[in-house]
A = this chain, B = another copy of it.
Amino acid sequence: MVVPDMDEQTIRPGRRAPLDRERVLRAAMAVADGGGLADLTIRSLAASLGVKPMSVYHHVAGKDEILDGIVDLVFAEIDLPEPGREWRGEMVRRARSARAVLVRHPWAVALLESRTSPGPATLRHHDATIGTLRAGGFPVPLTAHAFALLDSFIYGFVIQEAAQPLRAPEETTAATEAIMAGFAAGEYPHLVEMATEHILRPGYAFGDEFEYGLTAVLDALAAALAGSR
């Protein structure tokens, strides 16, 4: 029975709204958006909530649950396709939205791979996507193909976008220069050609490849759908 020593701010701070799982996850997302996944620690999260580390554990079971949770929050941001509306347009809208969301939360892609327990928003998203394809006339097996192909393209594209060593003009310099140095030796001739004649030209943006790929994929699916009738 220690003497309480009741000191400052035990009662002081003017009634902060109590935490809950929702607020914890939103704060976690904000921290990750601000400084990347590496900056998201229980301690930094607690600090951003104006609370001590262990308090967080009253609302989530552990860091893994936080990671699962914010992945689901990310999926919740992606536009849902609507079954019944023209499938191709819905898939384009969904794909663009997904890319935009994943670019906005670049840490999410890394988590996609490691999380195997989808949350409700994720399931709802998948359900709507599958439903839209089915309503658009896709037989079940072709729907599975389409779903796998579209998501592969979307996720893979975002990964590459996030890892791009050769970016647009400015920021590129640092890494690019270093790489280009090794190029001088004459190894990687095709890479050099591609870089100098295309990628490093003003006006080129890797992101533009998204629409090209998306169109190609959707064309392939449309053809498959037509052939399945």
| A228 is an interface residue with CB less than 8 A from chain B | no
- Would you give the 0/1 interface string for A141-158, flagging 1 where the beta carbon is closer than 8 Å to chain B? 101110011011111110
Indicate if the CB atoms of A189 and B159 lie closer than 8 Å. Answer: no
| A187 is an interface residue with CB less than 8 A from chain B | yes
Indicate if the CB atoms of A165 and B124 lie closer than 8 Å. Answer: no
Indicate if the CB atoms of A114 and B152 lie closer than 8 Å. Answer: no
Query: Which of the four size classes fits the interface of chain A?
Result: 35 or more
Indicate if the CB atoms of A124 and B156 lie closer than 8 Å. Answer: no
| A175 is an interface residue with CB less than 8 A from chain B | yes
- Which of A5-13, A18-26, A48-56, A214-222 is the contact stretch? A214-222
Indicate if the CB atoms of B149 and A216 lie closer than 8 Å. Answer: yes
| A170 is an interface residue with CB less than 8 A from chain B | no
| A78 is an interface residue with CB less than 8 A from chain B | no
- Among A124, A131, A191, A197, max chain B CB count under 10 A is at A191
Indicate if the CB atoms of A198 and B144 lie closer than 8 Å. Answer: yes
Indicate if the CB atoms of A127 and B179 lie closer than 8 Å. Answer: no
| A213 is an interface residue with CB less than 8 A from chain B | yes
Interface residues of A (CB under 8 A from B): 83, 109-110, 112-118, 120, 123-124, 126-128, 130-131, 134, 140-141, 143-145, 148-149, 151-157, 159-160, 162-165, 175, 178-179, 182, 187-191, 193-194, 197-199, 206, 209, 212-213, 216-217, 219-221, 224
**Closest 8 pairs between A and B when the two form their complex, measured CB to CB:** A156-B156, A152-B156, A155-B156, A131-B190, A216-B220, A148-B209, A152-B157, A130-B190
